[in-house]
Structure 1
Amino acid sequence: MIRLALLSCWNPYHTRSFVRDLVEFPEARLVAVWDDDHERGTAHAAEFGLPFEPNLTALLDRADIDGVIIDSSPAQAASLIELAAQAGKHALADQTLAMTLREAEQVASHIRRANIRFAVDMSLKRWPVNLAAANAARSGALGEVTCMRVRNAHHSAIAATTSFASRFLDAPYGVFSDLGAHGLYLTHDILGRPDAVTAVVSRFTGHSAEDNAVCVLEYANGTIAICETSYVAGQSPFAIELYGTEGSFLGGGANGIHRKLLQPSDAVVRAYGMEKQAELARDASEMPDAAEPSTLSKWLEAIELAKKRKESNGSSAPNNELPAEWNARLDDAIALAELLEALYLSAETGRKVYLRDFE
């Protein structure tokens, strides 16, 4: 049995999603909840039928806990992941590893040194429409991609009835680090690391954190990517668009309903080519029927394998002996931290930021 603790319930939508998803894995179960906001943590622990532990050190010292799921604010994620690694606990983080490149690399060093199984849940990579977009780009059907656009937005900050907490709008980091992070890692997955970024943000609701934002990413070969995100967009459908030298891919959500996992039935896909238009359209419309295995399932599998190896050999496999996928996951998390740091610097200074400045 894999025994897990939940560290922070910052985003109730994601917290409940993790708890709900764990029901599908009889080999794992949550045994405790911690939150720096004791009132919030106690309430969620009661909702999930779990004990609340107010002392984080005591929780991480427990020998019966194998790993932790971290659903904290973006500003707190790095410190919690580092503490989990120092305690030898496997860790699954929600979206972000850190908010700066230096911080991300520091945490990554702790992860590697502790030889824990670590993953960041980048859930939109598993959406069938995004898998189809990546397939279209990598197959060469579009030629060379010259422009990419991703939009991920909802209206929780302005909805008449909403459970959207004010802490999301009064935090140091706003929508870029939440909904906007999805567009950034999707863009990085397809186009790689940009040369420079420019960010524009607004505060439509008047709070301290940005709630409406867009960024432009520039690449060495001339490709441009646009990522849009917002907390103040009513019924805004998800969109992912790729424009290439030989064709275009347009995909997205049909109904404007925000979900953690977009279903094939919610999505629309269109593709356009030149003389290959019919073939391209047919290929692009054949989205996967189901999403790839979740990060949670792969993480639990890795923990189980590590436990079995430790029981038989006395130690788990070092991270450099794991499949390349696991090191790639950590590299992706570091890349996202670098992008977020550059975007917030651009938003603060009002200028273009070159990523080479962080090297």
Structure 2
Amino acid sequence: MVNVALLSKWHVHADDYAHQANQNKHLEIKVVWDENAERGKEWARKLGVPFEQDLMKVLSNPEIEAVIVDTPTNLHKEIILLSAKNKKHIFTEKVLAFTVEDCKEIYEEVQKNKVKLMVSLPRLTEDYYLYAQQVVNEGLIGKLTYIRCRLAHNGAVPFEGNPNGWLPKHFFNKEECGGGAFIDLGAHPIYLTNRLAGPVKAVTARLQKQFGYEVDVNSVAIIEYENGALGTIETGFLSGRSPFQLELYGTEGALLIEDNKIRLNSKSAGEGWNAPERLPDALPMPMEQWVNSIIDETVPTITDTDVQGLTLINQAALLSQDRGRRVETAEIIIDKQRV
């Protein structure tokens, strides 16, 4: 049994991860810490575990073997580094950190202390993504020329009694979040398209503020890939009833995914649009992969390349927005080497 501490209930997915931990036969939640003591105490009471206000007491406790981090994103680096230095395995919400340089520092500490780090990128385990990857790998649409992914919801649309929508108010705090819709919800289209289209050469982004928010709530990025393909990533908090869409276009066909509807039009798969007869089996969810890596050294399918690639796009998009121009990823440098 792996004894776990929950570090903060700041993120909207914190309850989901607590539920996943409770459902996993190898994990046991032992304590809650939260930078907001009142929130943390209430959560601890709900879960039936103690609350500890001193973070270092949690991290220095030898009985605690792992942590689940759902703090404000601007606290990720500090808390994850402290956790690694105290030999705790780490599961955390995306994004890992605001810069690729910070991500590299975290991974170095993780490797030095021989602990397991998992960032929650759940759509990389889904059957539709695995099918899309299979289509690309097998060349069923020829050479990929264009990819588009859209994920948006109405979390910032006001409704009666909720002038900021259903998202918590702190999700619009630029200091804590590092941004708005693009860095949060946009993470999913980013890491999906990174996997499918490959290394990124340049980013041109428009991170739009509306309704008086200090962060972007309606955003688009044009991505140029090293293989010559183009891509578009779309996200936002102002779209009611917006479907999830993933589209791949190639020299010999196209793959369209809209929510649960999947259609392939391929030169090598017959005439017209066809639904796949069978999708690949979904992979274990990120938390399960994390636990397996702790218990039996199983290598996760979600990698540091996925995690750092996510931060790279966010960093380049923010720079593009601030400078009003196209940004090449070569401009974002660590140790004088290209990311």
> Per-residue deviation at 1:46?
2.3
Aligned runs of 1:208-357 on 2, under 5 Å? 208-253=214-259, 267-274=260-267, 276-278=269-271, 281-282=274-275, 284=276, 286-288=278-280, 290-305=281-296, 323=299, 325=300, 329-357=303-331
The answer as to 2:174 corresponding to 1:171 is yes
- CA change 1:126–1:159 in 2 (3 A) is farther
Q: Alpha-carbon deviations, 1:162-208, whole Å to 9, x = none?
A: 54111111223211111101111111111122100011011122111
Give the AA of the match of 1:169: F
Give the AA of the match of 1:185: Y
**Runs of 4+ displaced beyond 3 Å:** 274-280
2-structure distance, mates of 1:159, 1:28:
38
TM-score, with structure 1 as normaliser: 0.86
**Percent identity at matched positions?**
29
2-structure distance, mates of 1:229, 1:79:
28
Q: Alpha-carbon deviations, 1:258-282, whole Å to 9, x = none?
A: xxxxxxxxx0011112463349825
> Per-residue deviation at 1:39?
2.2
- SS of the residue corresponding to residue 211 of structure 2 reads coil
Partner in structure 2 of residue 317 of structure 1: none
- SS of the residue corresponding to residue 214 of structure 2 reads coil
1-structure distance, mates of 2:272, 2:289:
34
2-structure distance, mates of 1:226, 1:181:
13
Partner in structure 2 of residue 313 of structure 1: none
Unaligned runs of 5+ in 1: 254-266, 307-321
Give the AA of the match of 1:245: T
- SS of the residue corresponding to residue 337 of structure 1 reads helix
> Per-residue deviation at 1:125?
1.1
1-structure distance, mates of 2:107, 2:82:
12
- SS of the residue corresponding to residue 30 of structure 2 reads strand
TM-score, with structure 2 as normaliser: 0.91
2-structure distance, mates of 1:274, 1:136:
12
> Per-residue deviation at 1:72?
2.2
Give the AA of the match of 1:331: T
1-structure distance, mates of 2:17, 2:282:
16
Contact 1:270 1:285 in 2 (8 A): no
Unaligned runs of 5+ in 2: 333-337
Q: Alpha-carbon deviations, 1:79-110, whole Å to 9, x = none?
A: 22111111110001112211101111111111
Give the AA of the match of 2:4: L
Partner in structure 2 of residue 196 of structure 1: 202
> Per-residue deviation at 1:159?
4.7
RMSD (CA atoms): 1.9
